Amino acid sequence: MNLDALFKLTNGLYILGANDNGRYVGSLVDAVTQVAHEPVIVVVSCGNQSYTKECIEKTKEFSLSVLCKDVDPFVLGNFGFQSSRNVNKWDNVDFYVEGGLPYLRNNIASIRCRVLSKTEFVSNTMFTAEVIDADSVKDAEPLTYRDYRGYFKTEVLKSFEEYKKNGIKKTETQTPVKEESKMSDTKDKKWVCTVCGYVYDGDVPFEELPEDWVCPLCGVDKSFFELQEV
């Protein structure tokens, strides 16, 4: 089976938001699809390691913020490369709250959902949910998973590494300095996690890491890493 075939499915990118006893949590997701229009039903699939998933299981509701092409790349790293278990991700971005759920301010649509059922798989939990409110915020091009795997990922990794190094919190209004893109000409091959985009940069050569070593960001094993130009 060639899993590259699945990258040709067209997905958007979304911030999945939930409430954790008054604290807001969230995750970057692409596995979202509308599956019925009467009533309006969507499915969302969460990795079983996701803390946002655990909160949705308890509260049975979540928000979706639809990302647009001009989103600050840091937003994707902030919600996709670290867990709400340890970080208050929403503190790092410009957001608003409606009905106890968080939404990214610079989004193109805000959608509120109530969970009807869940289906559990080995790797993921799929929520089937009814859309109970939706607002089309602005008319702009949605960011796709293909954009992410193509031109956008380098920007996301750079802004997230900068945040990790300097502890600088960025909001969407503070977009990264564009001149950095000049540096992308000097390409270098690194082992990259195909699930979350983490770039391995340790002193021990990647090949020599023990077989039970896992990605420090998303927890998948070594087989999910690929040697890529970064």
Ligand X SMILES: Cc1cc2nc3c(=O)[nH]c(=O)nc-3n(C[C@H](O)[C@H](O)[C@H](O)COP(=O)(O)O)c2cc1C
Does 17 bind ligand X (CB under 6 A)? Our answer is: no
Closer to ligand X at the Cβ: 29 or 64? 29
Does 80 bind ligand X (CB under 6 A)? Our answer is: yes
C-alpha to C-alpha distances, 221 to 20, 28, 51, 216, nearest whole angstrom: 28, 20, 19, 10
The residue type at 105: R
**Tokens 């106890």 sit on residue:** 100
The rounded distance, in Å, linking the Cα atoms of 173 and 184 is: 23
**Quick check: 19 and 55 in contact, CB under 8 A?**
yes
Does 24 bind ligand X (CB under 6 A)? Our answer is: no
The residue type at 192: V
- The stretch among 2-10, 46-54, 57-65, 110-118 that binds ligand X (CB under 6 A) is 46-54
The torsion angles phi and psi of 81, rounded to 5 degrees, stand at -110, 5
| Contact pick of 17, 19, 27, 75 for ligand X (by CB under 6 A) | 27
- The stretch among 23-31, 63-71, 166-174, 205-213 that binds ligand X (CB under 6 A) is 23-31
Closer to ligand X at the Cβ: 123 or 181? 123
The angle at the Cα of 41, spanning 83 to 19, to the nearest 5 degrees, equals 30
Instruction: List the alpha helices (DSSP H) in 31-112.
Output: 51-59, 73-80
Closer to ligand X at the Cβ: 109 or 156? 156
Near ligand X in 165-204, by CB under 6 A: 196-197
| Contact pick of 31, 115, 137, 230 for ligand X (by CB under 6 A) | 31
By CB under 6 A, name the binding residues for ligand X: 25, 27-31, 45-47, 50-52, 79-80, 82-85, 148, 196-197, 218
